[in-house]
Amino acid sequence: MTLPKLTDYHLGSIQTLLVLSQIAIYFILFLPYTNSELFNFSSFNSNEQNIYQEGDAFSSNGVLQLTKNQQDGSLTNSVGRSTYSKPVQLWDSKTKRLASFRTHFSFVIKAVNSSMYGEGLSFFLAPFNAEIPYNSTGGFLGLFSQHSAFNSTQNPIVAVEFDSLKNYWDPSDDHVGINVNSIVSVANVTWSSSIKNGSTANAWVDYNSVSKNLSVFLTYAGNPSYNGTSTLFHVVDLRDILPEMVRVGFSASTGSWIEIHNILSWDFFSDEFPEDKSKTIIGLVLGLVFGGIILVSVFGVLFFSWWKKRVAHKKENNDSDDFMDDEFEKGTGPKRFSYNELVGATNNFSEEGKLGEGGFGGVYKGFVGDLNLDVAVKRVSRGSKQGRKEYISEVKIISRVRHRNLVQLLGWCHERGELILVYEYMPNGSLDAHLFGKKYMLTWVVRHKIALGLASALLYLHEEWEQCVVHRDIKSSNVMLDSSFNAKLGDFGLARLVDHESGLQTTMLAGTMGYLAPECVTTGRSSKESDVYSFELLLLKFPVGEDLLNQVKRV
């Protein structure tokens, strides 16, 4: 069948029809549940009827001042709340439907004394009849009393705190945290605040009723736009914590140390709940009928869209292969193999010649007649995006480094959707097979030689090559042994190149649990030092003769 050629005009019309159809279906099906603006305060009048003030909170000069200011005398042990005066519906007890919401507010916390300041402010949701608890100044932020601070189920509350003084339950001095029924945050992040200079901060608090994800976003006046990247988040079903109708607003406090807490603006968007069920049912029926008609009419359009994407994707893959060819062939040493060559070398990737299975594909023994050489052929699993990334990383890095204790890459191939790497063959397999398996027991002389070889490889990667290579996955299964039991470090799929003067900035956790340095788990950052940590853990296995992960499981 010959498909008709689509002009740009036709494609534009098709895309427009698809968008309009989706909009129509959405509005008809879900119109009763619209996301609407409940309120928007660009500033605050002193006689604002929609703001309820408690404690020391008051409105002045267009802002909400949550605690005492300089004109009121002593600022210590001050506590105040400013909240929306009407209840906000969070969920519906009849349908169990939960609302999504988004609120944005700008605020200033300013230190009176730049070396001694505290305690902080929070945005919170609580039962509508909730009031400021007794003895809630200082580190309790006007949210909890001293007696209910660590288990407040009888006075439920969900809050986002901007805390400026470390108490014994806090992780650091300045931090942002999410609190659920406790002053101890369930999620927190260190906050590089502007309290000393009093800069304006912009915060967004989002709650997605489908994923149950409560997210916090924070920027400053120099970059006031919402950028969609959360500062921190926590998954919580608010129906389990709060009643249907809640009070929303702000709370702040000071203790022996003081600061000023001001809210400059505030808006709040939330899902509306339908008042008439019959309208919902009619809307649902009309939506289904009209939506069905729309769907039938656009099936042909969807087919053409799918076909166009398929053609574009095929072209993109071809372009990507050409790009990889150009990049890889800039290096010296490894050569490009054809797919047919490797099929012949491995007897069509025979299971009998399979040496092992890695995280992203199998490794096969092969023989390349032109080189008169045994080889190890790594075949990346089809469709693995991570495998493709590691394939590119491995070729670009290992093809450029040369050292007697690094596995030598002989060649590569990417044809017919396959990603294949060809290495020198290591007759004695991997180190883990000897330490933990049933292979040849290594003497102490051999183990000492292996340790020295690995240390030499790391010194070369970290200090002696033109760039620093951070391996990020040093473990016994990535150490291969040649016929003389010389150590060869391999598997550079997770490795990264960095300048010697700077560290690796990625925050994507990479490596193998049981070998990772503690700072890699907490920060996601790897470094030369974390490589050395993994190497030291590997050395600990030499006398033990057992996998560290098995020991951890027993403990």
Q: What is the pLDDT of residues 233-274, one digit of tens each?
A: 999 999 999 999 999 999 999 999 989 999 999 999 998 775
If you average pLDDT over residues 108-122, what whole number do you get? 88
Using pLDDT thresholds of 50, 70 and 90, give the confidence band for residue 31. very low
Q: How far apart are CA 65 and CA 476, in angstroms?
A: 60
User: Could you give the CA distance from residue 272 to residue 89 in angstroms, rounded to a whole number?
Assistant: 8
Express each pLDDT in 506-528 by its tens digit: 556 777 887 888 888 788 788 89
The reply to whether CATH 1.10.510.10 applies to domain 431-554 is yes
Residue 88: what pLDDT?
Answer: 95
The first and second tokens of residue 382, run together, are: 């089809």
pLDDT score of 309 = 72
> Higher model confidence: residue 107 or residue 27?
107
> What pLDDT does residue 250 have?
98
Can 473 be counted among the known catalytic residues?
yes
Query: What residues does 125 pair with on adjacent strands?
Result: 158, 248
What integer best gives the mean pLDDT of the chain?
A: 81
If pLDDT is split at 50, 70 and 90, which confidence band does 69 have? Answer: confident
What is the share, in percent, of the chain residues with pLDDT greater than 90?
43
pLDDT tens per residue across span 467-516: 899 988 899 989 999 989 999 998 887 888 888 776 665 556 777 887 88
Q: What is the mean pLDDT of residues 269-281?
A: 67
The larger pLDDT score, comparing residue 146 to residue 18, is at 146
Work out the average pLDDT over 73-98: 92
**E strand map for 12-169:** 35-41, 51-55, 58-60, 63-65, 79-84, 88-89, 101-111, 120-127, 158-163
Q: Is the pLDDT of residue 437 over 90?
A: no
Q: 366 with 345: CB under 8 angstroms?
A: yes
Burial of 138 (0-12, 13-18, 19+ CB in 10 A): buried
Catalytic residue from among 473, 499, 531, 547: 473
Residue 374 has pLDDT above 90, yes or no: yes
pLDDT > 50? residue 314 = yes
For residue 517, the model assigns a pLDDT of: 84
Residue 57 tokens, joined: 């909170």
Model confidence over 316-348: pLDDT tens digits?
455 445 544 554 455 456 888 999 999 999 999
Please report, rounded to a whole number, the percentage of residues in the chain having pLDDT higher than 70.
79
Query: Confidence class of residue 450 from pLDDT cuts 50, 70 and 90?
Result: very high
Annotation-wise, does 378 bind a ligand?
A: yes
Q: Does domain 35-271 have CATH number 3.90.950.20?
A: no
- pLDDT tens-digit profile of 382-412? 766 677 778 887 888 887 888 999 999 899 8
Per CATH, 327-424 and 431-554 having the same topology is answered no
User: In the predicted model, is pLDDT for residue 99 greater than 80?
Assistant: yes
Give the pLDDT of residue 211. Answer: 92
In our burial notation (b when 16+ CB lie closer than 10 A, e otherwise), range 295-310 reads: eeebeebeeebeeeee
- Position with higher pLDDT, 73 vs 522: 522
Which range, of 21-25, 82-86, 413-417, 434-438, averages the lowest pLDDT? 21-25
Higher pLDDT, 36 or 175: 175
Q: What is the pLDDT of residue 418?
A: 87
The predicted structure's pLDDT at residue 319: 46
User: pLDDT at position 396, please?
Assistant: 82
446 — pLDDT class (breaks 50, 70, 90): very high
- What pLDDT band is residue 177 in, cutting at 50, 70 and 90? very high
Q: Residue 329's pLDDT is what?
A: 52
* 281 or 214: which leads in pLDDT: 214
Instruction: Kindly state the average pLDDT of the residues 276-301.
Output: 68
Structure tokens, 408 = 């030598």
Which pLDDT belongs to residue 552? 41
Give the DSSP per-residue string, 286-338: HHHHHHHHHHHHHHHHHHHHHHHHHHHHHHHHHHHHHHHHHHHTTSSS-EEPP
Average pLDDT over residues 57-68: 93
pLDDT at 547 over 70: no
Every domain of the chain and the residues it spans: 1-33+274-294, 35-271, 327-424, 431-554
The pLDDT of residue 417: 82
Confidence band for 35, pLDDT divided at 50, 70 and 90: low
CATH fold of 327-424 = Phosphorylase Kinase; domain 1 (3.30.200)
Pairing of strands 213-220, 232-235: antiparallel
Q: Are 233 and 214 in contact (CB under 8 A)?
A: yes
